[in-house]
Amino acid sequence: MNRIVIHITLLLTFCFSASLLAQKKTQGYHIEGDEVVFTFDKREYSQVTHGLYQHRKLMDDDDFDIEMIAVAGEFNDWAEDRWIMKKIDENRYELRKKIADFTDEFSWEFKFVINEKYWAEPEGDIENISKAKNKYGKDLHVYNLKMYTAHVSDTGNTHFFLKGYQKAEKVILSGSFNKWNKELFQMKKADDGWHLTLQLKPGVYEYKFIVDNIWIADEANPNKKPNEFNEYNSVIDVKAYHTFTLSGHSTAKNVLLSGSFNDWSEDGFQMAKTDNGWELSVLLSGGKHQYKFIVDGEWMLDPANPVKEYDEKGHVNSVCMIR
């Protein structure tokens, strides 16, 4: 009798664990390298909603044929016919976009639209599901999917570590990079604490750890910012390398790089001479930076960069964007 009870307990535990794992599903997209891969699998959807008449229809109706599927969302003004997906087999469609093509927002809501009029309705235990609302905040009684450019990657550019807390059951990383989602980024337990590596776009982010539902700042990070709860969020500045090049000027003796990133220092950053001119890679924060070259004491714009703007003193400078 005891053996039967043990077997039943183990079976229930396994089913419960499998159920928990099923709740971790992210639907509609994944990240591959520097690309967002949108994926539609018709086996994951049972109903669609007509965009104009708002009536529901079953996907397996005999008179419902898929002619075209598009990705529509906040990133393309919910266009029903612009981001057309490619059919890759009997059930699946795919569309690839560069992460750099998106704006500096950290998340976007989106949906799949079939034949330019039927919206596929997400259902089930999906991690990245969100209640759809109109521009006035009214609940539309349907759901959208949500996409985050931040994602877990063993080779990512930002590593988070919380020392200790060995008795904690669960630690979540939450921040401005995922709109303070309380479930998405579960950290991995190790002998010395909790770890997680993310791939983040360059930028300044605020974050906290959630240890068994208790929010705490990063004790090892002195950079903090007050929040609306009279507490502090930890702050991290994710940077990326940008290579500046100046062609020609082979007879120049000294070429410097100066800009908003080094307070327009007249000593600048020393550029290295190459076969084709001059070059320098600089680690920069996300966003916009103004700059100029100083060639043997003479300030000059970047002749290869058409993007320019005035600064507060009325000077025209070259501009680069780090995303």
Which whole number is the average pLDDT over 150-154? Answer: 86
Cα 226-228-229 angle, rounded to 5 deg: 90
Give me the chain's average pLDDT, please: 87
User: Given 3.90.1150.10, 2.60.40.10, 3.40.50.300, 3.30.200.20, which CATH number is that of 240-322?
Assistant: 2.60.40.10
CB 251 within 8 A of CB 277: no
Query: What are the C-alpha distances in Å from 35 to residues 30, 85, 199, 251?
Result: 9, 15, 12, 42
**Residue 69 pLDDT class (50, 70, 90 cuts):** very high
- Amino acid (1-letter code) at residue 253: K
> For the ranges 24-28, 285-289, 314-318, which has the lowest average pLDDT?
24-28
- Give the CATH architecture of domain 24-148: Sandwich (2.60)
pLDDT for 192 beyond 90: yes
- Tokens 């029903």 belong to 80
Greatest Cα pair distance, the chain, in angstroms, is 92
Residue 58 to residue 24: CA distance in whole angstroms: 26
| The pLDDT value given to residue 141 | 76
pLDDT digits (tens, 9 = 90+) for 249-295: 999 999 999 999 999 999 889 999 999 999 999 999 988 999 999 99
Domain boundaries, the chain: 24-148, 151-221, 240-322
pLDDT digits (tens, 9 = 90+) for 193-204: 999 999 898 989
Residue 257 to residue 248: CA distance in whole angstroms: 15
> Do 24-148 and 240-322 share a fold?
yes
11 SS3 class:
helix
Output 127 or 80, whichever has higher pLDDT: 80
pLDDT digits (tens, 9 = 90+) for 73-105: 998 999 999 999 999 999 999 999 988 777 656
**What is 151-221's CATH topology?**
Immunoglobulin-like (2.60.40)
Instruction: Compute the half-sphere exposure of residue 286: CA atoms within 13 Å on the CB side of its CA.
Output: 15
Enter the pTM of the model: 0.70
Find, among 79, 80, 86, 76, the residue nearest to 37 by Cα: 86
